[in-house]
DNA sequence: TTGTAAGCGTTATCAG
DNA sequence: CTGATAACGCTTACAA
């Protein structure tokens, strides 16, 4: 049934065709530090090209126990922040000639554990993980890290000594609050998702602290805690409108929530920023494309991805260090916090 | 990135501990059809569990030339339509216990070729590809398909006999046009990206044909052809507004363009749907979350993903067949085409 | 500088 | 039903 496609050339075929040993071919083509004369090298390269030879990465991996690929597990690839992070990671890996094995844990600790198990049994040289739960992700991670280097991104499981790379949450929030204060905001609501992520919890902490420090009112019933999604933000806005007293601004711990809040406020007949200011966090692509465009804190995803990949490629020592690399975000002031005319 | 702590148990270790041969262990644990006595089977399973044995997928792949993973290459993982498609593919693969190798070609034929080359040299059992160009993607695809089964998703390279799964473009557009006609629309503009995708070209063809058939005006300068992005849609709306004569509706070949068009029209002081109706195509998550929510054609991505995976897993025969599987989309009527009060 | 040969951890083909 | 044993394609001591 298989038509005229010939089986791909193996290392041995190249060796035979070139009249040298397999060892020599391997040394030339595998980029080994071993010395090979210029003439032989050229001969080998020529014949390899002529035969259309390509290494069998599986065989290479079995022999060298190096796969040249890394795994990445995120809670939801559909969340634009993670999508953009994955994209940056892919680019960073390309530079090192590494492939990406992507998995979505769908926010499930069990599924995450399964993915980690499958990856840590030799398919990848390292794992980049955005844990889906701050405590319950720990056991599977501990098991994985015994087999292969692991680096956490964005979200952190504090009970483990696994390196982490993420944004400086507190300073980002401080910038937001200072900006709102400057805009004359006297009262805020806060929409967050402390359950999903430790980062969100830290941000919320900081929102509360800064509100107190700046004399901005944050009523307990105006602190709304759910999950990260547009729908959640939409619901939060409805709640707010029903509460009767609508604050001057709504501070959200991520852009999806902020998008939902803006839509919800508009649906309720309020103008943003005319009646209420809104801020987000992350700076996903949509934040600058939406109307009104969203004031938010830009997470430098390129940097986060690059640092994570660097940690991973620098090997066990680096990933053993328990390093915590925090990278500052930058406030992007846009239309949702324009001063009222 | 070096090896782990305790060396993991190998097949041979299990065999030794259980006092049987490696062949027997392999037969039990590898799910081979070969008969093994119930007693031996249980013994092996017990010892394997006790030693925490897990197969080495690399060794297995080398021996059996089956990796239990498939590669997927999309033009941009950031495009929500592809993101959602990837997610569905991941789910479909999970059901078959297959892993996903994801790559982003960033719309570059060269990068795409590189990805295909790397994947087709043994790292995956099959490739799901959304080609980034209707002609220039062909050479690399032809080379890949000689090594490994390939299935095209969404976009198609017609010059190759490679199976394809996608939505029924023409009927989707006919539904949109019929709906607009019913709404009393007499003139439209059309925003598309025929360069990116044959599907878009087909949709555009159908828009023109249906406009003619239904007596709806589509002025040549109101046919705007660019790339698939929110920014592009935004620009198209500005162009439209500057043209002086704003049509009754704007038909877009994807949701991103439609999102941009809505934002652009609003920025220019027009109301959607008050002054202008807008339609999209795809039904990405945002389409129903945005305000006003977007009337669009829902692509059944779960089905598309499932069919593609089915073709791939059914092996060479299926992927040699040159099958073209088209799946009907369904019109989702939402706020952007509400009748003017 | 080059070659020989021993594995890497499985699966599959034989005999028994 | 079970067990030796030879591959799979490559890297890397060790020899020459």
In DSSP notation, B84-148 reads HHHHHHHHHHHHTT-EEEEEE-TT-HHHHHHHHHHHTTTT-SEEEE--S-TTTTHHHHHHHHTTS
Q: Taking CB atoms and an 8 Å limit, are A54 and B117 in contact across chains? A: yes
- CATH number of the domain at B11-64, please? 1.10.260
For position B6, what pLDDT does the model report? 62
Same fold, A11-64 and A169-299+331-337: no
Q: How far is CA A18 from CA A14, A35, A56, in A?
A: 6, 18, 19
Instruction: For residues B272 and B278, give the distance between their C-alpha atoms in angstroms, rounded to a whole number.
Output: 7
End-to-end CA distance of chain B: 64
User: How close, in Å, is residue B33 to chain A by CA atoms?
Assistant: 23
Give the nearest nucleotide to B23, CA to C1'.
D3
B37 touches strand D (CB under 7 A): yes
Contact B83 A78 (CB under 8 A): yes
Say yes or no for a CB contact (<8 Å) between B1 and A313. yes
Whether A212 contacts A190, CB under 8 Å? no
Contact status, residue A135 vs residue A156, Cβ threshold 8 Å: no
| Domain B169-299+331-337: CATH superfamily, name plus number | Response regulator (3.40.50.2300)
CA B41 – C1' C13 distance (Å)?
Answer: 21
CA of B330 to C1' of C2 (A): 67
Query: pLDDT tens digits for chain B (341 residues)?
Result: 433 346 899 999 999 999 999 999 999 999 888 899 999 999 999 999 999 999 999 999 999 999 999 999 999 999 999 999 999 999 999 889 899 999 999 999 999 999 999 999 899 999 999 999 999 999 999 999 999 999 999 999 999 999 999 999 999 999 999 999 999 999 999 999 998 888 999 999 999 999 999 999 999 999 999 988 898 999 999 999 998 889 999 999 999 999 999 999 998 999 999 999 999 999 999 999 888 899 999 999 999 999 999 999 986 677 777 899 999 999 999 999 998 65
Residue whose Cα is closest to the C1' of D3: B21
SS3 B215: coil
Rounded to a whole number of angstroms, the distance between the first and last alpha carbons of chain A is 75
Q: Across the interface, do B8 and A147 touch by the CB < 8 Å criterion?
A: yes
Are residues B289 and A231, on separate chains, in Cβ contact within 8 Å?
yes
pLDDT tens, position by position, B263-277: 999 989 999 999 999
Pairwise CB contact (< 8 Å): B104 & A90: yes
Pick from A65, A67, A118: which is nearest to B99 by CB? Answer: A118
Domain boundaries, chain A: 11-64, 69-167+301-328, 169-299+331-337
The span from the CA of A156 to the CA of A308, in Å, is 13
**A69-167+301-328 sits in which CATH class?**
alpha beta
Strand D bases contacted by the protein (CB, 7 Å)? 1-13
Residue A55 beta carbon within 7 A of nucleic strand D: yes
Residue nearest to nucleotide C7 (CA to C1'): A63
* Cβ neighbours for A36, distance < 8 A, ≥ 6 positions apart: A24, A27, A28, A44
Q: Name the closest residue on chain A to residue B87, using Cα atoms.
A: A77
The distance of B146 to chain A (nearest Cα, Å) reads 6
Q: How far is CA B184 from the centre of its chain?
A: 34
Quickly give B41 CA vs C8 C1' distance in Å.
Answer: 26
Determine how β-strand A188-192 pairs with β-strand A249-252: parallel
Q: How far apart are CA B57 and CA A61, in angstroms?
A: 10
Question: Exposed, middle or buried: residue A32 (CB in 10 Å: 0-12, 13-18, 19+)?
Answer: exposed
Nucleotides of strand C under 7 angstroms from a protein beta carbon:
1-13
């Amino acid at each position: 049934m298989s038509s005229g496609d010939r089986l791909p050339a193996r290392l041995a075929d190249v060796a035979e065709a070139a009249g040298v040993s397999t060892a020599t071919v391997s040394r030339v083509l595998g980029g080994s530090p071993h010395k090979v004369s210029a003439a032989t090298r050229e001969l080998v390269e020529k014949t390899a090209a002529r035969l259309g030879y390509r290494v069998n990465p599986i065989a290479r991996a079995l022999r060298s126990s190096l796969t040249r690929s890394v795994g990445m597990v995120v809670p939801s690839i559909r969340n634009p922040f993670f999508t953009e992070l994955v994209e940056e990671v892919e680019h960073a890996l390309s530079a090192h000639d590494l492939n990406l094995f992507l998995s979505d844990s769908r926010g499930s600790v069990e599924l995450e554990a399964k993915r980690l198990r499958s990856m840590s049994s030799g398919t990848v040289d390292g794992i980049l993980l955005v844990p889906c739960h701050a405590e319950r992700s720990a056991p599977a991670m501990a098991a994985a890290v015994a087999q292969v280097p692991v680096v956490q991104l964005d979200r952190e499981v504090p009970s483990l000594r696994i390196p982490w790379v993420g944004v400086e949450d507190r300073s980002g929030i401080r910038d937001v609050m200072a900006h709102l204060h400057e805009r004359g905001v006297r009262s805020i609501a806060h929409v967050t998702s402390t359950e999903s992520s430790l980062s969100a919890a830290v941000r919320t902490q900081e929102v509360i602290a800064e509100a107190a420090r700046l004399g901005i009112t944050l009523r307990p019933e105006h602190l709304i805690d759910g999950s990260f999604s547009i729908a959640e933000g939409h619901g939060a806005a409805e709640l707010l409108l029903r509460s009767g007293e609508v604050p001057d601004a709504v501070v959200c711990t991520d852009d999806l929530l902020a998008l939902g809040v803006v839509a919800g406020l508009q649906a309720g007949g309020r103008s943003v920023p005319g009646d209420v200011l809104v801020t987000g966090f992350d700076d996903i692509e949509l934040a600058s494309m939406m109307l009104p465009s969203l004031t938010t804190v830009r997470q430098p995803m390129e940097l986060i991805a690059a640092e994570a990949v660097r940690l991973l490629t620098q090997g066990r020592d680096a990933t053993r260090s328990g390093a915590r690399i925090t990278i500052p975000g930058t406030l992007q002031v846009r239309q949702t916090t324009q001063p009222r005319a």
